[in-house]
Amino acid sequence: MDPKSVKVGVVGAGNMGAGIAQKYATEGFNTVVVDVDQAAVDRGQARIKQTLDEGVARKIFTPEKRDDILSRLTFSADKDALKGAALVVEAVFEDLGVKTALFKDLDARLGPDTILGTNTSSFFVDDLAKACAHPERVVGLHYFYHPAKNRLVEVIKGTATSQHAFDTAWKIQELCGKTPVDSLDRPGFIVNRFFVPWLNESMRLVEEGVATIATVEWACKQSFGVGMGPFELMNVTGVPITLHAATTLGKELGAFYAPCDLIRPVVDAKKNWDLSGTADTSKLEVVAERLWGVVWQVACQLVFDEKVCTLEDCDLGARVGLRWPKGPFEVMNERGTRAGLWAVQSIAARYPDVNVPAVLVEHGEKNRPFAIKLVAHRVDSDGVGVITFQRPDAMNALNEAVTAQLGAAFDALAANPACKGIVIEGKGKAFVAGADTKFFVEQIEGKDIPRIVRFASDGQDIFGRIDRSPKPVVCKLHGLSLGGGSELALACDWIVATPRGSLGFPETGIGIYPGLGGTQRSARRVGVPLARWLVLTGETVDATTGHKVGLVDDVVTANELDAACRARALSGKTRAENAPPTVAPAGFEAAWAAFSWTSLYDLMKGFANAGAALDKSIKKAAFKAPLAMQAADELIKLAATTTLAEGLAAETKGLKAIFSSKDAYEGLSTLGVRRPNYRGQ
């Protein structure tokens, strides 16, 4: 599915509808926006134009990019303009009668191949599907504010929703740059189910005189790690919206979810909450325990009692949709499930209609953490094993837990006789965006360099098992791959990518060198000169360029990606260890020549005579860390004269020295903050 050839529609040009449409157009979809009359359409068009202009002013977009986005948007007051759309998303006022009438109209007006999505946050998908002659094409797509910026979307399969409609809607969300999570058709779906009670309990704390608004705001920022507390959030998104959401949940789920009376006078007066005052810091624990208790109770009920979603999607929803640093289960594991049990028992004692989920009792009494699957695996009916990284909000970055789970998942598939070949993929916009640099910084500051070396050594071992597997292993490269992610890709037998896929080795720019096989496997794939070009400049190459130089094996469309990966996995063919190529690929003769003969000193001083086409790439070398550059260059050249095993051992051997350098700490600690100042120390 190529976004440029797909038409989508949005009905409703208000804040949500305009934002949804803007996101689709930004990601390349031809987008039609429809509203009830021309005045509403014009307001929606102006709203999108203003948002994009603000993006230009903030240098998020170039004027050319803004104009390109606008060129893909069509505005109309005629619903017939939606004909031919693959997906039409409804984003009108939360009124069941209005929505039902709209779906009945769209169902009659649009061909049966058009999927109808509802952005409702209050009603069941089934209630809207009943209005349609083709209920199988109705799916829930609950976006979060602001939908042009917030990546979360809850995808809800109604009772009648076909698997085709659900899968297609899901795929479109991924192509749109969203992070989809799978929810049953239940009140509040996933995130609102625990977020609205969080807001409600915050108000009850004030109503009961336990804490002031200012205290609750401060305590939430401290305990939940959020930038805005619950009352400020309600002010920003609209206090009446909270009242509406709590009222709806209360009708469906009981008194615990019903709105706190404190909110009604504020809504009636059309005011915002008064955030003034000084926080009482002595109330931190009482506020935190009460609010976390509510969240943990609802989360456990959602996941284990009602099975609305997986534990991982519950946490992901909190991190992406609410921008909480950590999800409910991750926090409970850190603080101890025994503490979680006590907090929920306290909530249950306060509210008659709240129970203590049995699974929490089981874990809490033994203080046993919940298992969180950061890496999932399965074997499909055709014999293809699939390993999926499930940290899209962290770009699937590698850390100790992720790497260990990758090893366990791979070993399970390698030992499973039903598995004939393996595909490794990542959720979201990235395959794997390298290692978690925060982990490196923490260990350097804690003077535990050996832990970094163990992490890298363990990663090397796992990548080695992948490399040596008699079963074909395929990297499914649909997006960004950096550092350790690119090293994992190279450990696979085959790299199958879409044009959006990319690979890069940025390590020398952050004071270190590729330590998971990047200096060795890159040289064996593309030759020592082009490996020097990639690693020493940190140049990121798209999949098409990667295919030309030999990094990538197949480049296919997004529609063809799954089938192409499966074909490679079931081919029975693996890639044998090979010596570095000695001839330049067509079109890369200049790069081959420049990086064959130019010394590291000349590269870092900008003295390389490589021609205009490579000038920009060469200049990048001047800003890299000298020690890392020297180590990386020596290791790459070593690939021409040693076995892979010897080269990998040399990579690992040098890690202690490179991570002990001042340059490593400078590069890693300043990442995303400022340009590092390397001293070669």
| Percentage of the chain exceeding pLDDT 70 | 99
Write out the two tokens for 540: 């990121």
Q: Judge if 321 and 427 occupy the same domain.
A: no
**Are the C-beta atoms of 487 and 524 separated by less than 8 Å?**
no
CA pair distance 212, 230, nearest whole angstrom: 12
pLDDT for the residue numbered 122? 85
One domain for residues 162 and 227: no
Confidence at residue 302, expressed as pLDDT on a 0 to 100 scale = 97
Task: Work out the mean pLDDT of the chain and round it to a whole number.
Answer: 94
Tell me the two tokens of residue 302: 């959602």
- pLDDT score recorded for residue 510: 95
- Residue 413 and residue 265 share a domain: no
Q: Do 206 and 121 have their domain in common? A: no
Q: What is the pLDDT of residue 597?
A: 80
Domain end residue (candidates: 125, 156, 184): 184
Asked if 155 and 216 sit in the same domain, the reply is: no
Residue 535 lies in a domain: yes
pTM of model > 0.85: yes
Q: Are residues 468 and 564 in the same domain?
A: yes
Band the pLDDT of 612: cuts 50, 70, 90.
Answer: low
Residues designated as active site: 121, 142, 154, 192
> 184, 200, 223: which is the final residue of a domain?
184
The whole domain housing 222 covers 191-366
CATH number at residue 142: 3.40.50.720
The CATH number of the domain where 521 resides is what? 3.90.226.10
CA 592 distance to own-chain centroid: 36
- Residue 678 forms part of a structural domain: no
Within-domain flag for 679: no
Burial of 195 (0-12, 13-18, 19+ CB in 10 A): buried
Whether residues 274 and 379 share a domain: the answer is: no
311-323: pLDDT as tens digits: 999 999 999 999 9
Is the Cβ–Cβ distance between 660 and 449 less than 8 Å?
A: yes
Are 348 and 388 within one domain? no
Residue 305: CATH number of its domain = 1.10.1040.50
* Domain count across the chain: 3
pLDDT in tens, 168-203: 999 999 989 899 999 999 999 999 999 999 999 999
- How far apart are the C-alpha atoms of 525 and 528, rounded to whole Å? 9
> In terms of domains, do 23 and 47 share one?
yes
| pLDDT of 604 | 75
Q: Which of 184, 219, 243 delimits the end of a domain? A: 184
Compute the average pLDDT of residues 273-291: 97
Amino acid at 213: I
Helices (H), 111-162: 125-129
User: Given pLDDT bands bounded at 50, 70 and 90, which one contains residue 281?
Assistant: very high
- Does residue 81 belong to any structural domain of this protein? yes
Q: Are residues 180 and 197 in the same domain?
A: no
Domain membership of residue 681 (yes or no) is no
pLDDT at 619: 77
510 with 606, same domain: the answer is yes
